[in-house]
Amino acid sequence: MAAEQSATGYIVHHLTHWRLETDGFWSGFHLDTFWVSLALGFVFAGVFGMVARRATSGVPGRLQNFVELIVEMVDSQIKDAFHGKSKVIGPLSLTIFVWVFLMNSMDFLPVDMLPVAAQAIGHYAFGMDPHHVYQRVVPTADVNMTFALSLSVLLVIIGFSIKAKGIGGWIKELLTKPFHAEGLALSIVLAPVNLVFQAIELLAKPISLSLRLFGNMYAGELIFILIALLPFWAQWVLGAPWAIFHILIVTLQAFVFMMLTIVYLSLAVEDH
Amino acid sequence: MELNASLIGQAITFAILVWFTMKFVWPPLTRMMDERAARIADGLAAADRAKQDLANAERASADRLREAKQQAAELIAQAEKRAAQIVEEAKDQAKVEGERLVKGAQAEVDQQVQQAKEVLRQQVATLAVAGAEKILKQEIDAAKHADLLASIQAEL
């Protein structure tokens, strides 16, 4: 914390996204979220892909063992919770778990590390004003990222429903459940009510998924920023326990996101 | 951008986190992975051993089967030989028995012939004597010529 910079200024600077342009349509495009998540996606794909290519059916090495452990964990969760057949759900769940875990894990880095590095690069390489170089580190603390994930999951949920029940069956379910009537007239009356209920049920899924993850990670990041405002000799008192506690949150949130995706997809293919 | 004491504070926090991870997070993870690797290695070794055992058992069973076949063949050969022997012996016995029977019958026949001869001789003698008696009735006194009659009878 520098004297000329207020605490509010510090926090606001930390919570401001690096945008493609300062105003206009593309100002909504968060470059920092984009590049960090992309890089972590490459880390995931690179490591897992390399291990998969080099995998042996004999005794696995450390890294293969680790990857197998994660894949096995995801697979057993799917076997427990998903009662259908799908080639998509395994890779989807694995990607969600590992990617979200990696993105959440960015919280472990010292809160100023990447922003200060970005400021240094911006200042010395591109001659920018360091106060206008913004870099947020945790992609899942950006509501755009979590909604991108959960809306994709929503599309997959709708896809699974249509595949399992047919487009007619899905539309029929939207109109006839949860309230089922015997007569035609009553059915027509109830159809809009059912549609509203189904729409709420469907939309509640991505909203709860993304807001849960976003809320947890945003709060975590904010607390790291607040801890960074303490005198440097006192930071570890709160920072270390919070970081250690965060190991749990990071893993748990990644797991919950994956698990709920599996459960939602399972509900989508079942007749309820 | 400025570098300040916050950097040191965050570095300390980060160091503690790294230390905690090294101390309490990493060891259980690596232990779990080592155990898993050991389990897999054991499983593979067990599978290999089982395969080896199976091959051994198959070889042993093939050996046993061949032995049994050989033994059975030997037994059959022996039995055949023994059967032939028994047949031979029976044949011999039958031959001996037959010969004995024939001999016995022959002896009986001989004896009966002898007896018949004896009977015939006696009858002839009696007839001769009777004839002689009739011829010599007048001249020969049975009492007087008893010796003579007896000798003739013996000669006949």
Residue range A78-117, pLDDT digits in tens = 988 888 778 888 899 999 999 999 999 998 888 888 888 8
Q: From A226, A221, A234, select the one nearest A7 (Cα to Cα).
A: A226
pLDDT recorded at residue B83: 95
Catalytic one of A194, A210, A216, A266: A216
Most A CBs within 10 Å, among B6, B7, B19, B40, to test the A interface: B6
Residue of chain A whose Cα is closest to the Cα of B12: A236
How far apart are alpha carbons A103 and A138 in whole angstroms? Answer: 6
Q: Which residues contact B2 (CB under 8 A, 6 or more apart)?
A: A2, A5, A130
**Who wins on pLDDT, A97 or A173?**
A97
Asked whether the beta carbons of residue B3 and residue A116 sit closer than 8 angstroms, the reply is yes
- Asked if A130 and A116 count as a contact pair (C-beta separation under 8 A), the reply is no
Question: Residue A71 corresponds to which tokens in the numbers above?
Answer: 């894949």
Domain extents in chain B: 5-155
Partner B contacted by A243 (CB < 8 A)? yes
What are the residues whose beta carbons fall under 8 Å from the beta carbon of B33, sequence distance 6 or more?
Answer: A62, A65, A66, A69
Tokens linked to A116: 């200060």
Domain boundaries, chain A: 7-269
* pLDDT (0 to 100) of residue A152: 92
Q: How many residues does chain B have?
A: 156
Interface confidence: ipTM more than 0.90: no
Write out pLDDT tens, residues B98-150.
999 999 999 999 999 999 888 888 888 888 878 877 777 666 666 777 777 77
DSSP string covering A46-98, please? HHHHHHHHH--SSS--HHHHHHHHHHHHHHHHHHHH--S--SSHHHHHHHHHH
User: CB–CB of B37 and A112 under 8 A?
Assistant: no
| For residues A146-151, average pLDDT | 91
Tokens, residue B154: 């013996």
* pLDDT on residue B137: 67
Q: Compute CA distances A203 → A96, A270, B6, whole Å.
A: 19, 18, 43
A208 is known as an active-site residue: yes
By C-alpha distance, which of A103, A134, A138, A136 is closest to A121?
A134
Closest-approach residue (CA) in chain A for B22: A244
The answer to whether residues A108 and A243 touch, using CB atoms and an 8 Å cutoff, is: yes
The whole-angstrom separation of Cα A78 and Cα A94 is 10
More confident call, A9 vs B50: B50
Most confident range (mean pLDDT) of A164-168, A175-179, B17-21, B70-74 is B70-74
Report chain A residues whose CB lies below 8 A from the CB of B16: 236, 239-240, 243
Q: At residue B50, does pLDDT exceed 60?
A: yes
